[in-house]
Homo-oligomer: A and B are copies of this chain.
């Protein structure tokens, strides 16, 4: 069998602001691969099926000397992220041909040889769910919501939760967990379509933060006992202002500042005055504790629609760069997933 194209999305330059297709990254089709003969060296060959595009990519698009919670992308090499691949060949007894591998460091290329599983796992799919869900509500974003909420929300019926980016894969799960726990849920997003989706999830108060003033909403509907923060910046300041005594803040991200710098927070002195508790969340710290419970309950609830999800599927590895930009600009309508290949 002759070598075939192995297209890749390469990290090309550190962006100043938004990551630009063809500049920050390039879609490269010059590499070829012989699927029959490419050496595995004890590893396995996968065909990439699904790739997730996430906000934290922006953080990885940095100079290598700058430290952060995730390693930087390597200039000139394929970017990577959560994804699912099917095993084509294997020299690893734990990874059988025909099985599916889900992991956080799947290369953005059509085919890849993986030396070892590392943090990846061999995953069984629920028969009524597509693989795309496994990088969304049944994957890292869903796990983030589930584990963060379980560990830090200390939710009590009748309390008030405020969820930002509530139409996203994390926020939408948080809204539903909060409603199931008996809370009043205030949820914000950046488009009317997203607002409608949040309403369909059962959120009590939904609003578009681009057309309504967050402080006004919180003044009327708060004070808030739980803040799920995906945005940071001025919205975080507003949440501190309108927090109840002993409120819990779950800091999941600060997307408002990824591309344009962060708005300084003016109200931190209220943390001691109101005895707030602010928790930074990283899913890989919490997942081991909740792994069995998550996979034992969430996929079935997603399949039965007891928990709803939304996703925006784009076809083709060549579209990854556009999706990355859309996610950074927030113009995607739901969890961004790229289908690289069908089976």
The chain A residues found within 8 Å of chain B, CB to CB, are: 59, 68-69, 229, 232, 236, 245-246, 251-254, 257, 262, 264-266, 268-269, 271-282, 285
Contact = CB atoms under 8 A, between A and B. Distances in A.
A252 B272 CA distance: 6
Nearest to A279: B277
Contacts of A68: 273
Contacts of A59: 273
7 contacts: A59-B273, A69-B274, A251-B268, A251-B271, A254-B268, A264-B265, A265-B268
Given A268-B232, A268-B236, A69 B273 contact: yes
Given A251-B271, A271-B251, A276 B280 contact: yes
Copy total for this chain = 2
Contact of A272 (B254, B265, B273): B254
A337 to B, nearest CB: 23
Contact of A264 (B229, B257, B266): B266
A280 B285 contact: no
A257 B280 contact: no
A253 B68 CA distance: 28
Nearest to A253: B272
B257 A269 contact: yes
A279 B274 CA distance: 10
Contacts of A266: 262, 264-265
A69 B269 CA distance: 11
The 8 closest A-B CB pairs, nearest first, are: A264-B264, A275-B280, A254-B269, A278-B278, A251-B272, A69-B273, A265-B265, A271-B280
Given A254-B269, A262-B266, A269-B262, A282 B277 contact: no
A341 B285 CA distance: 56
